[in-house]
């Protein structure tokens, strides 16, 4: 992955300027060795040493591509070089931009899994993203951890095949919400209630603010992935931009 192609950077810059939530995606396995090396060179020493801690090569590659894509995207929006982008962890653990490195109020979040990387970017709006493989298997105990009583009841009426898709979609939606809020999976996600058919929040549980203060989106991507995005704003549009590889 060379620094973002011009068409990609232009689309991203225009959508961001219109106030849209920008969701970027990329398949890390499609990246050449040369471009992976370039991505690696754009990371900080700390990011490089975190990358080395992954046990599986696919996770190592996804991590590197996710963080390089983030740096390249911020660089395209803010007009700084990728290595100037400084990131720190907020008290709750959520990564955020250091505003002395970039003056544009960019909020971001990223998610990486085997062979899929997603980065969400928004202007001054807290955002969260999660992507999971649709064939991910959940242990039966997860139902209690994940689902509100209403969701568990609604999912129990579906066929077995539709149930497993509904669990993944719900998982990504709730994880995107708790990543947008910065709380992460420390909070009781079964107190959150989401509509199954529409991506809509009906009860916010441990999340700050009422359900109407949040916007959520979800979808599937070729290759067997489910994704969700959540933003702490009552109204917004989402633009999906991807996939690129050399």
Which residues would be at the binding site for ligand COA (CB under 6 A)?
63, 92-95, 109-112, 128, 130, 175, 179, 182, 184-186
Nearest-CB residue to ligand COA? 184
Least distance to ligand COA, CB of residue 10, Å: 26
Burial of residue 150 (number of CB atoms within 10 Å: 0-12, 13-18, 19+):
middle
Least distance to ligand COA, CB of residue 209, Å: 16
Least distance to ligand COA, CB of residue 174, Å: 10
Q: Of 136 and 158, which has the nearer Cβ to ligand COA?
A: 136
Least distance to ligand COA, CB of residue 110, Å: 5
Cβ proximity of 84 and 91 under 8 Å: no
Q: Of 79 and 191, which has the nearer Cβ to ligand COA?
A: 191
From CA 142, how far away is CA 127, in angstroms rounded?
Answer: 25
Least distance to ligand COA, CB of residue 135, Å: 16
Q: Which residue in 147, 202, 209 sits closest to 183, CA to CA?
A: 209
Q: Of 79 and 93, which has the nearer Cβ to ligand COA?
A: 93
Least distance to ligand COA, CB of residue 119, Å: 9
Q: Of 86 and 158, which has the nearer Cβ to ligand COA?
A: 86
Q: Of 92 and 99, which has the nearer Cβ to ligand COA?
A: 92
Q: Of 11 and 138, which has the nearer Cβ to ligand COA?
A: 138
From CA 14, how far away is CA 9, in angstroms rounded?
Answer: 9
Q: Of 71 and 123, which has the nearer Cβ to ligand COA?
A: 71
* Measured CA distances, 215 to 40, 110, 206 (Å): 34, 17, 16
DSSP state letters, 214-241: -EEEEEEETTTEEEEEEESSSS--EEEE
With a CB cutoff of 8 Å and minimum separation 6, the contacts of 218 are 169, 172, 173, 199, 226, 227, 228, 229
Least distance to ligand COA, CB of residue 14, Å: 25
Query: b/e map of 202-236 (b: 16 or more CB within 10 Å)?
Result: eebbebeeebeebbbbbeebeeebbbbbbbbbeeb
């Amino acid at each position: 992955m060379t620094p973002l192609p011009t068409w990609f950077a232009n689309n991203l810059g225009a959508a961001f300027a219109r106030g849209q939530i920008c969701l970027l995606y990329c398949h890390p396995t499609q990246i050449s060795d040369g471009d992976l090396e370039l991505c690696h060179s754009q990371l900080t020493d700390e990011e490089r040493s975190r990358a080395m801690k992954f046990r599986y090569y696919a996770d190592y590659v996804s991590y590197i591509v996710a963080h390089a894509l983030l740096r390249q995207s911020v660089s395209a929006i803010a007009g700084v070089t990728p290595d100037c982008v400084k990131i720190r962890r907020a008290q709750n653990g959520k990564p955020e931009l250091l505003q002395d490195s970039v003056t544009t109020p960019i909020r971001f979040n990223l998610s990486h899994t085997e062979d899929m990387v997603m980065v969400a970017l928004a202007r001054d709006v807290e955002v969260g993203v999660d992507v999971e493989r649709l064939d991910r298997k959940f242990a039966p105990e997860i139902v209690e951890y994940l689902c509100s009583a209403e969701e568990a009841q609604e999912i129990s009426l579906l066929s077995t095949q539709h149930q497993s898709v509904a669990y993944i979609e719900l998982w990504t939606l709730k994880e995107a919400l708790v990543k947008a809020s910065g709380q992460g999976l420390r909070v009781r996600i079964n107190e959150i209630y989401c509509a199954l058919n529409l991506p809509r929040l009906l009860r916010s549980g441990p999340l700050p603010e009422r359900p109407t203060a949040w916007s959520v989106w979800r979808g599937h991507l070729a290759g067997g992935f489910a994704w969700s995005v959540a933003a702490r704003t009552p109204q917004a549009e989402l633009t999906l931009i991807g996939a690129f590889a050399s």
